């Protein structure tokens, strides 16, 4: 249920609406979401619709048939990012999956340096 209503909230943003002001609140109300707009919850009517979808979809799995509860109790550590942050003198930032990145900024001409 939570995944579906959060996905609905995020789909409003994906449609091009930034922030949580008037445009967002108008669309959110139309689809059945209620305040607070930064962390919406489903209205009673939307909750009923989403519950029907949840029943049809079945339990949330990890794609291999393991149910959500199994995922939450696993000892797997989340993968940390492998991208390194590189920055030039004018502030342009790039992220590269290498420790030895040799590139020159086309805006200021400086060489990118690994940020710590």
Task: Give the pLDDT confidence of 69-107 residue by residue, as tens digits.
Answer: 555 655 666 666 689 999 999 999 999 988 889 999 999
Other CB atoms within 10 Å distance of the CB of residue 12: 21
- Dmax (CA) of the chain: 58
Q: How far apart are the first and last CA of the chain?
A: 40
Alpha-carbon span 23 to 82, nearest angstrom: 37
55 pLDDT exceeds 70?
Answer: yes
Mean pLDDT value across the chain: 87
CB 33 within 8 Å of CB 26: no
Alpha-carbon span 46 to 84, nearest angstrom: 42
């Amino acid at each position: 249920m939570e995944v579906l209503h959060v996905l609905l909230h995020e789909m409003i943003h994906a449609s091009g609406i930034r922030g949580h002001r008037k445009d967002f609140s108008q669309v959110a109300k139309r689809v059945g979401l209620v305040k607070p707009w930064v962390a919406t919850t489903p209205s009673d009517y939307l909750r009923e619709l989403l519950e029907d979808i949840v029943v049809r979809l079945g339990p949330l799995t990890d794609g291999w048939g393991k149910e959500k509860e199994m995922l939450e109790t696993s000892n797997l550590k989340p993968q940390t990012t492998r991208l390194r942050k590189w920055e030039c003198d004018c502030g342009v930032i790039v992220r590269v999956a290498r420790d030895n990145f040799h590139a020159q900024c086309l805006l200021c001409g400086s060489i990118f340096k690994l940020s710590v």
